[in-house]
Amino acid sequence: MHAENQTPITLPLAPRGDRPVQLKSDSHFSGHMVVRSEGLIPQVVEVESHTEMNIGLVLAMRPDVVDVESQVMFGWREPQTGAQKRHFFDFRVSKRNGDRVAVMVKPGRKRFCANFLAQAREIADRVTADFADDVVLMTDRDICPIELHNATFLDSLKEVDPEADAAVRRAMRRIIGARRISDIVSEVGLRGRGFRAVGRLLRGRELVLSPPTRITSEAAVRRNVS
């Protein structure tokens, strides 16, 4: 920890879901994580399964996602009976292009359950544009191990280190094309601090992996000129 780089601590906001999650259970995984969406105060997100936690982490770290909400209620009235119905989506993500996507998270076996798929399609058909532009089902089968590894690493970068970040920026300033992370770290001479600084610049989209791969010292990065 570098005392000279410490900044005031910002406590995360309480969960903003429309339904509380039972965090104490003898039958299944439950827990919470802190999501730091772009430009927003960190937010506590409660989850009801390990798959849900992994998917939430992956979604939050995707470069085209700017906000992640959890346990978002959608309500509708059945046209035939007039009955009021509701469904709580595990996540709703807001994307950089303005689209919002409602996400159902289920175990992989649900993809082969005809009854569940029929219910999911019925709910998706009721979703209106003022709630979401699209509805998707995600399971553990949709989690890419490389993407999960990278998301977990980038999410862990909570320490502020302006000196190391500035050193990495200088090392990449005149570089055309890609450069190995190990070469950058060797040049700046900060070892672990340099490696984490590369990660922070990846998270902030100043750098991008080239090509997309698992973040290790042998991975290559380039400046993001888009």
Residue with tokens 């082969």: 112
Q: Which residues are CB-contacts of 7 (< 8 A; sequence separation ≥ 6)?
A: 160
pLDDT, position 82 = 81
In three-state secondary structure terms, 201 is: helix
- Average pLDDT, whole number, for the chain? 89
Residue 29 domain-assigned? Answer: yes
Domain boundary among 147, 171, 199: 147
Amino acid 1: pLDDT: 45
Pair of tokens at residue 111? 């993809």
Banded pLDDT at 32 (limits 50, 70, 90): confident
With beta carbons less than 8 A apart as the criterion, state whether 50 and 30 touch: no
State residue 33's pLDDT score: 79
Boundaries of domain holding 14: 8-147
Per-residue pLDDT tens digits for 65-120: 999 999 999 999 888 888 899 999 999 999 999 999 999 999 999 999 999 999 99
Residue 173 lies in a domain: yes
Task: State the pLDDT confidence band at 45, using cuts at 50, 70 and 90.
Answer: confident
User: In the listed set 147, 182, 208, which residue is the last one of a domain according to the structure?
Assistant: 147
- Tokens (6 digits) for 174: 């005149």
Residue 91 and residue 42 share a domain: yes
Say whether 94 sits in a helix, a strand or coil: strand
Same domain, 26 and 126: yes
E strands along 15-159, which residues? 31-35, 43-47, 65-77, 84-95, 100-105, 134-138
Please tell me the total count of domains within the chain.
2
pLDDT at residue 105, rounded to an integer: 96
* CATH number of 42's domain: 3.40.1350.10
Residue 61 has pLDDT above 50, yes or no: yes
So what's the pLDDT on residue 20? 74
